[in-house]
Structure 1
Amino acid sequence: MRFVALVLMAGLAAACVSRPVGDFGRAQPGVLHDRAMPYIGSKVAANRGEPVSNFNQTDQEREMHDRTWRFLVAAHSRDWMFDTNAELQRTRIGPAKDHRYGPERYYAWLRSTHYQSSPTRYNSVGRHILADIDTLPTTFRAICAVEEVDRQRRIALAELPGIEASVAANAQARFVENRWHIDWFVRALNYRYQSYAYALDHLLVETPHEQSMAVDENLRRLGPWVDRANRGDFCSGLTGGGGGAVVTIPSRYQTMMPDREVIPQK
């Protein structure tokens, strides 16, 4: 009964208090979100039969969690990315729900947000894409560092015969936890890319404007990062191209007649 009460209290806390973020969307430390909720979540996850490690976090693991957080939620559009559900998923109090999100939510948020002129919506999409691109190099670097930590753990386990079975199981559980978090980031990055593309397509039908070409260019710059994430390539070069020459595919929007109408400000 006490366990159930703790879970309910943690759920209510997550619903009332979003995880605080600082510069560039990085998570800020706090007792509720970094200690209390993860502790309860570990008990819930173990009750579900999931692997749970009680290893202390390395600096690299903490950095990865902080860097990836901005991609798992969207502070500019809470109704789009479900920041409460993301916090329950992160702390493992609730099951993963990000698989259920549809790309239409971002466009719905854009449509419901009041702008004085229709091109401003294109500008918003373009800014959001650029913000992702700007923070992806450090995020990939943080993930790469965690993959190296896991590699070193495996080597240590193989070369140190005196390690207890419980410690080896703990290391394996931490490897799974890290892999699950990286997979979540990859899904989130794909979801953002699909949401931006969906919004751009529908804005072109609803309010055609030449600003779409700049947004499409930003989207094509984001594409190589998405491709690298889907390949699990977080360590080879941090320019977004993944090495080699980058072929620019002609945009499907470049042949459209631009709308040069000037919309007066209200």
Structure 2
Amino acid sequence: MPYAGDLIATNRKEPVSNLNQTDQEREMHDRTWRFLIAAHGRDWMFDTSVELQRTRIGPARDFRYTTERYYTWLRTTTYQSSPTRYSTVGRHIQADFDTLPTTFQSICAVQEVDRQRRVALAELGGIEQSVADNVAARRTENQWHIEWFVRALNYRYDSYSYALDHLLVETPHEQSMGVDENLRRMRPWVDRANRGDFCLSGAGAGSGSHVTIPSRFQTMVMDREVVVPK
């Protein structure tokens, strides 16, 4: 499939490289892959389309994803108790949160590899133009993959947020507060990804930032109407 995909991508006039893949590039692809699919939700993130996009047999289609798909899967999955859906969303957010630091590190490492390639190309004489074209194509391919990851991360965050909002309406429960807190912890990582800030030093996504993201419960208008029993 990858070979066929390269031919199809070439026919679409897209850059295609044949450089050997570095360990850093392989690790980035491995770590970002879990964000591009959703094994826990079967096909709620269009897994078949993702595979066609990965192999470049088909063009990027993740722009078409809509955020209600995760909630639709969640609400149509049978649970013994309705609050369990809050636990499910919370676990999925936590799983993403736990793997984001190493995923960001792997992307940062690939960006450094691309920089080293450009430096070597500029400083070494006698390198063929075909090699320079390969380096430029690989840099574009890596950047496209990083941008795909960023879109996927935003899609996951928006899908979780959509699900929590609708669960609050459909089956209100105090467990929603824990899910909301998980979303608040995930948000700085989403913001960093949108800025292309994968190499920031520090233990957490919020390093160097003092912005507090308000909880949806803090921004809710409380209903204080007094109801007098008849």
Pairwise CA distance, 1:90: 0.4
Query: Which of 111, 122, 125 is the aligned partner of 2:75?
Result: 111
> Which amino acid in structure 1 is aligned with residue 21 of structure 2?
Q
> Which amino acid in structure 2 is aligned with residue 209 of structure 1?
H
Matched, 1:172 2:144: no
> Which amino acid in structure 2 is aligned with residue 59 of structure 1?
D
> Gapped runs of 5+ residues in structure 2?
224-230
Query: Which of 76, 84, 91 is the aligned partner of 2:40?
Result: 76
Over residues 93-152 of structure 1, what are the superposed CA-to-partner deviations in whole Å (9 max), with x where a residue is unaligned? 111110000000000000110011111000000000000000011100100000000000
Query: Which of 19, 22, 34 is the aligned partner of 1:55?
Result: 19
Give the Cα separation in 2 of the matches to 1:250 and 1:181. 31
Q: Could you tell me which residue of structure 1 aligns to residue 163 of structure 2? A: 199
Answer whether contact 1:236 1:242 (CA < 8 A) is retained.
no
Give the Cα separation in 1 of the matches to 2:185 and 2:210. 10
Pairwise CA distance, 1:238: 5.2
Q: Could you tell me which residue of structure 2 aligns to residue 218 of structure 1? A: 182
Give the Cα separation in 1 of the matches to 2:73 and 2:45. 10
> Gapped runs of 5+ residues in structure 1?
1-36, 258-266
Aligned to 2:44, the other structure's residue is in SS state helix
Pairwise CA distance, 1:248: 3.0
Q: Could you tell me which residue of structure 2 aligns to residue 67 of structure 1? A: 31
Give the Cα separation in 1 of the matches to 2:198 and 2:89. 25
Matched, 1:38 2:38: no
Pairwise CA distance, 1:245: 4.1
Q: Could you tell me which residue of structure 2 aligns to residue 145 of structure 1? A: 109
Q: Could you tell me which residue of structure 1 aligns to residue 86 of structure 2? A: 122
> Which amino acid in structure 2 is aligned with residue 241 of structure 1?
A
Q: Could you tell me which residue of structure 2 aligns to residue 260 of structure 1? A: none
Give the Cα separation in 2 of the matches to 1:238 and 1:61. 23
Give the Cα separation in 2 of the matches to 1:55 and 1:233. 26
Distance 1:235 1:174, change over 3 A: same
Q: Could you tell me which residue of structure 2 aligns to residue 237 of structure 1? A: 201
Q: Which has the higher contact order (CA 8 A, sep 6+)?
A: 2
Query: Which of 242, 248, 253 is the aligned partner of 2:217?
Result: 253
Give the Cα separation in 2 of the matches to 1:225 and 1:239. 12
Pairwise CA distance, 1:71: 0.1
Distance 1:240 1:226, change over 3 A: farther
Name the % identity.
77
Pairwise CA distance, 1:161: 2.2
Query: Which of 168, 174, 188 is the aligned partner of 2:152?
Result: 188
> Which amino acid in structure 1 is aligned with residue 130 of structure 2?
S
Pairwise CA distance, 1:251: 1.4
> Which amino acid in structure 1 is aligned with residue 62 of structure 2?
D
Pairwise CA distance, 1:157: 1.0
Q: What TM-score comes out, normalization by structure 1 length?
A: 0.80
Q: Could you tell me which residue of structure 1 aligns to residue 226 of structure 2? A: none
Pairwise CA distance, 1:243: 2.1
